[in-house]
Amino acid sequence: NPASIGRSGVGQIYQIHVLQSEGFNILHDLFPSLKDKLLNEYNIRLYSLKNYGKFVINGNLLKQNLTKDIEWLGIDRFTLETAMRKELCLQFGNQIEWITNARVVELIADRSANVVHGTKYRLKDSSSSLEIYGNFIIDCTGRNTSSTKWLKESLNLIVPTVQMHFGCGYVTFVGERFKTGDSSLDSKPIYFSNANVPDNNTGCYISPVRTIKSTDENSLGILSTIAVNCVNAEYPPNDSYENLLDWVKEHLDRDFPVILNSTKLCSPLVSHHRAIDDRKYVESLGKKWPRNYIL
């Protein structure tokens, strides 16, 4: 539950997130004990992509001739964020302050010096704003950031943007996988497939996030995050799992109805619809970009 770590507004915590191998190498360098703790304390497992992964792009099976195996760490964002907070507190103690259930409402900036010193934020259920200052202010909001509005208000800086129409959308959820009767599917906890991008954005992505103990002999003992992509601007339904299964049968390869029919829903069906995205050309601003601010 995202609310338990003060992230009640972060629906994407149920979505698939991919941290590339170099990113995890950096985490391992910064926190050498993190990997062992994830494996031993959080029921996380490492998977060999050569043995446990299946990747299909436009009908072509990839990774058939991998010369070097790749380890896949099956973890969800919620668990990784929780473990990272603990590691940061162990290393830095009182140097870190966690502010949760809050929303940034304004930048604290010096227009004459072209620098951002901090932000104003408002706690949930409060009308008064508070201030926080730092050497670097990093906006990790993503696509829906209000930075462009704040920069215009505080520094009269207009970030050039171009609208991109791409009809992106998907439904994502967490589910417990059960045996399908097809060993070729049951032996692949990691399954990514898409087709004809960007003309026909069909696809489904399945990634294990935790191992579990089950008394049901048909359980694979795996919790997975599953995402079902839209077909261009035709979005998968999220009103019920039954309707989602019907949609999957109509639009996706036969493997996915088989897998999802043998999956127990363990979270809300979270939808994401985005027909338009704004590409922000911050690099074109050069020295006009304020110091100490990262978007």
**pLDDT tens profile 183-238:** 999 999 989 887 665 566 678 999 998 888 899 999 999 999 999 988 666 789 99
Tokens 């070729």 sit on residue: 184
Three-class SS state of 24: helix
Mean pLDDT of 75-102: 83
Q: Closest by alpha carbon to 257, among 267, 242, 235, 240?
A: 242
Q: Say how many CA atoms lie within 13 Å of 128 toward its Cβ.
A: 2
Domain positions in the chain are 163-276
Residue 186 vs residues 19, 100, 138, 142, 263: alpha-carbon distances, Å = 24, 39, 42, 35, 11
Residue 223 vs residues 3, 171, 180, 220: alpha-carbon distances, Å = 20, 17, 15, 9
Max CA pair span of the chain: 68
Tokens 């009269």 sit on residue: 156
Whole-number mean pLDDT of the chain? 85
β-pairing verdict for 263-265 and 53-57: unpaired
User: Is the predicted pLDDT of residue 152 greater than 90, yes or no?
Assistant: yes
